[in-house]
Structure 1
Amino acid sequence: MTNLVTEFEDIAEQLGATLHFSENKINIGGGVISPNCVFLLNLNYKGRTIKIKNATGTYFYGNVQSVILNRQSSLEFQLTTKSHFTNLFSRKKDRFKIQTSSNDIKTFIQTSESILGLRQITQKDVFEPTIIGINSNGKYELLIEYSLQFNDWPEAIIPIVNFYKAFIDKFGD
């Protein structure tokens, strides 16, 4: 675990983020104790807070969230990742599938260099994020959820943050 903490400290320093780490032990029955570790990075970019949470133990998941706009917008979308198995039988080799009525979002996803880092990880590993842009409580939020059950999952953090930064640059107030 010490190596992961050190790796997250390095990532936090590289991003200019704050790192909060917690470790708990949970009795899951039968005398089995599972360590639950949570790595939380908070990063400010152009007045927005990007929160990155990676949790391991009895569950392995990551999520990232940020309020991009302080008003509702017509930029709602969902970007899902085709599994490696599904991709074997697909004519399109891009693992991302986008659902949106916004041409601006489609163009951004198809042309943004920030998505390339995420595409590279999906091609070489079982990184299958779901990215959602949604209107919620009068605000526009960008959310990413993913499983950590792939090799070297901390390497996804920098490309995810780069995607958020590019999204904020393009669509932020």
Structure 2
Amino acid sequence: MINEYKLVADSYECAELQHKETKVKVSGTDIYMTVSKFVLTIPYKNHIIRIENEYGASNPGKLEMKLKKGFLPNFEVRSQSHLKNIFLIKKKRFVIDCSNLQYKLLIEEWIANSGMETIAKENLFEPHIRLEKRDGSQSIVTEYHLQLKDKIGGLKAMVQFYKNCVDGL
């Protein structure tokens, strides 16, 4: 897995990769589990996209980027349930909540152009993306589970979505 992350880091200009492995004792047992954490920072147009992916017990992934300029209205992107998608004629993998219709359409376009729809169709890829306001600034935060077949494809698609957001500011 380390080699795949090195290739990802090498594919983005000035990206930095950190990797740390720790042994964690499984609660109530004498068993130790290896937890591998990857932190990748990717600069893009005066913004920093920070990715934290942890492999081991729960396999969480998180992307975050503080917006340095511009403004986005509150939005949230959730995955459509696979069961619901079976019965829908128009197969949409993501549900977008945004009170501003213009931005909702833009977010749909950013998702389509990022490749997230394709990854979601082929994998159990269910990111939860939201805009957070903290200390007078805005951040885009994505949480997702790493138990999908194409982990690197999902990561690259989300990075592209973040880049699309910056370009759209």
**TM-score of the alignment, normalized to the shorter chain, above 0.5:** yes
Distance 1:141 1:113 in 2: 17
Q: Check the 8 A contact 2:67/2:139 in 1, yes or no.
A: yes
Distance 1:147 1:155 in 2: 13
Distance 2:151 2:158 in 1: 11
**Which ranges of structure 1 fall in alignment gaps of 5 or more residues?**
none
Percent of aligned positions with the same letter in both sequences?
A: 28
* Structure 1 stretch displaced more, 26-35 or 106-115: 106-115
Give the equivalent residue in structure 1 for 2:55. Answer: 56
Give the equivalent residue in structure 2 for 1:130. Answer: 128
Structure-to-structure mapping, 1:5-84, within 5 angstroms: 5-16=2-13, 17-28=15-26, 29-69=28-68, 73=71, 75-84=73-82
**TM superposition shift of 1:7:** 0.5
Distance 1:24 1:113 in 2: 35
**TM superposition shift of 1:102:** 1.5
- Alpha-carbon displacement from aligned partner over 1:48-67 (angstroms, at most 9, x marks no partner): 11101110111111110001
Report the 3-state secondary structure (helix = DSSP H, G, I; strand = E; otherwise coil) of the residue aligned with 1:15.
coil
TM-score calculated relative to the size of structure 2: 0.91
Structure-to-structure mapping, 1:78-117, within 5 angstroms: 78-112=76-110, 115-117=113-115
* Residues matched between the structures, number: 167
TM-score calculated relative to the size of structure 1: 0.89
**TM superposition shift of 1:22:** 0.4
Q: Check the 8 A contact 1:87/1:95 in 2, yes or no.
A: yes
* Structure 1 stretch displaced more, 105-114 or 131-140: 105-114
Distance 2:145 2:110 in 1: 24
**TM superposition shift of 1:108:** 0.9
**Which ranges of structure 2 fall in alignment gaps of 5 or more residues?**
none
- Alpha-carbon displacement from aligned partner over 1:28-67 (angstroms, at most 9, x marks no partner): 1322111111010011111111101110111111110001
Measured on the aligned residues, the alpha-carbon RMSD in Å equals 1.7
CA 1:50 to 1:103, structure 2 compared with 1: closer, same or farther past 3 Å? same
